[in-house]
Amino acid sequence: MGGSFVRYNSTSAATSEIKNTLVSFDNADNVADTISTMTSDQLGYLNSIGMAQGWYPTDIVERMLELTHVYTGLPWWGTIVVVTIAVRVALFPFYMKASANVARTAKVKPQLDQALADLRAAETPQEQYVAMQARKKVMKDNNISMTAQMAPILQLPLAYGFFQALRKMANYPVEGFSTGGIYWFEDLASVDPYLGLQGIAAAVIIAVVRLGGETGSHQMAKPMKNIFTVVPLISIFITKNFSAAVVLYFAVNSVVSLIQSSVLRNKSFRKWAKMPETPKPGEGGKQAESISEYFSNFVEQSKETTRKKARETNKKLEVTQRRKAAAKDGFIKRH
């Protein structure tokens, strides 16, 4: 009986302890209630639902979207438009540098091509060095920088960030996304039912390509223009299942690219910005007119590279054979 009494006390104590522990969760429940009642017009809302918690491109874009949405009071479609334009405006100086670099490169393209041909044809380290120095001298004398040419690549991480951020916000979906659109795409979390945004993005991208790319200076050969005319059309079907929020970003970004290309092609603007004039049609050497010509040039270059390597191999074999023959004849002393 005494054992039964001890067991009873033990059970009572455990029950009391569990009860006390459960009661202590009341504060945590209150915190959860506070988080769950946050709305998208409050800073920290995205963080409360598991977004904008790091410093990767996606998190940075999510923060920019939330800050703009909260402080401007714009609907989500307006927020996406404003942030997209703001990012492209911030990157515009890099595109200016790249555009100026393209123009300078086009003026001396024959010299650069010749230096590159000499480098490919070089059969000795000395000849390769001379060709490399000649190419470097042409670039230095004309203020041509490969770094400036690659500057627009800075957009790629942010473009990826926009894609992932808007995709996540649509999939959640973030509060207001289902009614935060406009016109025929009122629901940003759903797909565009008419593929209108996809069509706008494709048409604008084709126009940008025709104008010389985002720097307004690239002279794209006819076969490449044809390819970049077909690709945007194909992208309509690739992106048909994307949320309207994501495709809205694509469309706005494309429109900004078109405006940017037009500005960078404007002679008055280039003169004011002290940028060299855009290359004239045909400037910088002859360009291939067809895909077959591109393919023929590629095959010919591959053959020439193969022949060059074969000649180098034969020379090495001849040197090796002469050394072996000289060693047999006793002209080379072995230690």
DSSP line for 221-278: -HHHHHHHHHHHHHHHHHSTTSBHHHHHHHHHHHHHHHHHHHHHH-HHHHHHTT-PPP
Q: What's residue 325's pLDDT?
A: 73
If you average pLDDT over residues 76-97, what whole number do you get? 95
- Confirm whether 8 is domain-assigned: no
197 SS3 class: helix
User: pTM for the full model?
Assistant: 0.73
- pLDDT, average across residues 319-325: 75
Average pLDDT, integer, range 49-68: 94
Asked if 247 and 237 touch (Cβ cutoff 8 Å), the reply is no
Q: Per-residue pLDDT for 65 more than 90?
A: yes
Residue 101 counted as domain residue:
yes
The answer, yes or no, to whether residue 314 has pLDDT greater than 60, is yes
Query: In which residue are the tokens 């000289």 written?
Result: 326
- Answer yes or no: are the C-beta atoms of 217 and 102 closer than 8 Å: yes
pLDDT reading at 9 higher than 90: no
Task: Count the helix, strand and coil residues of the chain and give each as a percent rounded to the nearest 5.
Answer: 70, 0, 25
Strand partners for 191: 243
pLDDT of residue 163: 96
Domain boundaries, position 156: 57-108+144-272
Could you give the angle at the alpha carbon of 223 between the alpha carbons of 219 and 229, nearest 5°?
A: 85
pLDDT at 155: 86
More confident residue, 26 or 232: 232
Measured torsion, CA atoms of residues 274, 280, 283, 287, in degrees rounded to the nearest 10: 130
Number of Cβ within 10 Å of residue 106's Cβ equals 21
Q: Would you state the pLDDT for residue 331?
A: 54
Whole-Å CA distances, 90 to 86, 93, 155: 6, 7, 10
| Positive or negative: CA dihedral 79, 82, 85, 89 | negative
What's the pLDDT score for residue 221?
65
Domain presence at residue 193: yes
329, part of any domain: no
Indicate the DSSP class of residue 286: -
DSSP code for 40: T
Mean pLDDT value across residues 57-85: 96
Any idea which of 41-55, 72-86, 102-116, 258-272 has the lowest mean pLDDT? 102-116
* Count of domains for the chain: 1
Residue 322 domain-assigned (yes or no): no
Does the residue 22 lie in any domain? no
Give the rounded percent of residues in the chain with a pLDDT score beyond 90: 41
* Least confident stretch, 7-16, 176-185, 233-242: 7-16
Per residue in 282-301, pLDDT tens? 555 455 444 455 455 556 66
> What pLDDT digit, counting tens, does each position of 215-252 carry?
776 666 667 777 878 888 999 999 999 999 999 999 99
159 assigned to some structural domain: yes
pLDDT at 1: 46
In the prediction, which pLDDT does 288 show? 45
Per-residue tokens: 34: 């506070």
On whether residue 221 sits in a domain, the answer given is yes
Mean pLDDT calculated for residue range 91-101:
91
**pLDDT at residue 183 greater than cutoff 90:** yes
- pLDDT for the residue numbered 59: 96
pLDDT computed for residue 108 by the predictor: 86
For the chain, give the mean pLDDT: 80
- In this predicted structure, the answer to whether residue 34 has a pLDDT above a threshold of 70 is no
CB atoms closer than 10 angstroms to residue 268: 8
Q: What is the mean pLDDT of residues 178-190?
A: 94
